[in-house]
Structure 1
Amino acid sequence: MRLALGLSYRGNAYFGWQSQPGGRTVQDRLEAALSRFADRPLRTVCAGRTDTGVHALNQVIHLDTGIEREPFSWVRGTNRYLPDDIAVQWCRPVGDGFHARNSARGRRYAYLLLESAVRPAIEVGAVGWVFRPLDAEAMRAAAAHLIGEHDFSAFRSAECQAASPVKTLRRIEIVRRGAYWRFEFEASAFLHHMVRNLMGCLLAVGQGARAPQWLAEVLAGRDRRLAAPTFAPDGLYFLGPHYDAGLDLPERTPAFDWLP
């Protein structure tokens, strides 16, 4: 039997999603908890690997098991063995053809940013920070150059293992609420560090260091050295993947109502 599970986590304490020898990753903690609950080793596949310090609201994973238990038992039983900053949110049986990564039709990220003369304290680790004022219209004009199918090599890390740098960026939405900005990105898929590299460039425009047209030049140059430095991971949230509606998998968790 194949199961799909939705997972939320705060990434500050972990070296990203993917399993590592030291065991300090979200995948390692989740698989250890699942294995204790099931009383046998279990392996998982995720919809989108997150980096060190990056959070997730609805990370989707799948696993195969011969154990038959009610979906709510997988949620509550697994959460019993997870640390406080990781929690399974839902569980659904799926067909053998479902794959958490390959079945996804798109993925969404949000970046939360504090604009303030003073660094964050209460929300430290949960938001990015800039102290210079930002120009919303300049950033939106710059973002418009990125929409569509492009070669995003200029925003790809040297460690990226994606087979192709060509992705379709469907939407960038930039809104402000008080001192906080929310940048939301939706694409067919993302390259390693792509959102954080886009953030670095958008903020260079927003702070007046670059003109909006510069982002089109960076994109066309296909050279990572042309872009701004990679921005901090603190405010980056993987909102989760999109699947065919017929699968009837949740696309929201309670944390969506908490995130500004």
Structure 2
Amino acid sequence: MFTHHYLPTPAFNQYICYPEWIGQYNQMPNHQVYRPIGLLKTFNLHLVFSGKGYVQNAKQRYELNAGTGFLYDMCTVQNYGADERDPWDVRWVHFHGAGIENLLGSEILGEKCWKFHFTRRDHLGKLMDEMMELCNPFQTEHEIRLSTLLYELLIDLRIHAEPWNTTVSNSDRERLHRSAEYIRLHYAEDISLANIAKVADYSPSHFSRTFHRTMGRTPVQYLNETRIIIAKQLLASGTLPVKEIALATGFQQSSYFIKRFHQHEGVTPQQYRAMHSFR
């Protein structure tokens, strides 16, 4: 079974991200794709929900199963497909946008083909399913919702996806997922490393090492990144003073918030607001 939805060029051309083509392949053992360099001028995201498949580069073939995925950068060589004996259920979206590089970061796009593990399957599956529903049939008034759903999908992967080369067990991965979810829900509070480690039932030192090895950044870096993502939304969408945004996102001092924000974004909160406010 396969589903394809090709979308017309959006009426508004400044979406941060917007799907061009979206679909699903399920139980299709002959699903094999090869694209030479420069052929596909959009980003290409695949999420595997069951079954098996692969993605391949010039040096190595990577076996994929449920809870794994990949993202190709634009104009790169692409080589992937379903396992013939146990073909995947894979949902995919080709997309473009005015803010993809800032959204995903150079550490992801610099890989050309970013491979990862994802844990929030039900949530991500619902986002993909709703996008496909809005395409059948497509109406112009669906544009904003489609862009919003894709943005949420990419942000979720940006925050929660784990690097491909992680070697943690499923039990450890579930514990780390609980701790990441705790951070997401309690970012506005004065939480410590010990608080977060307790959620995963680890000692703070073991938790910090395991989290860093799995997530590619320390728990404190992850916490600050989560806070800054929320702060960016507040800066762009409202008039709340910077000092109040700092407190609302868990920073006890506005000066420390401004310092961390500038380190992360390259601009001050005030500059970011001026750049992204539509009022």
Report TM bin, short chain: under 0.3
> Relative contact order, CA 8 A, sep 6+: which one is greater?
1
* Structure number with bigger Rg: 2
Where is the helix percentage greater, Structure 1 or Structure 2?
2
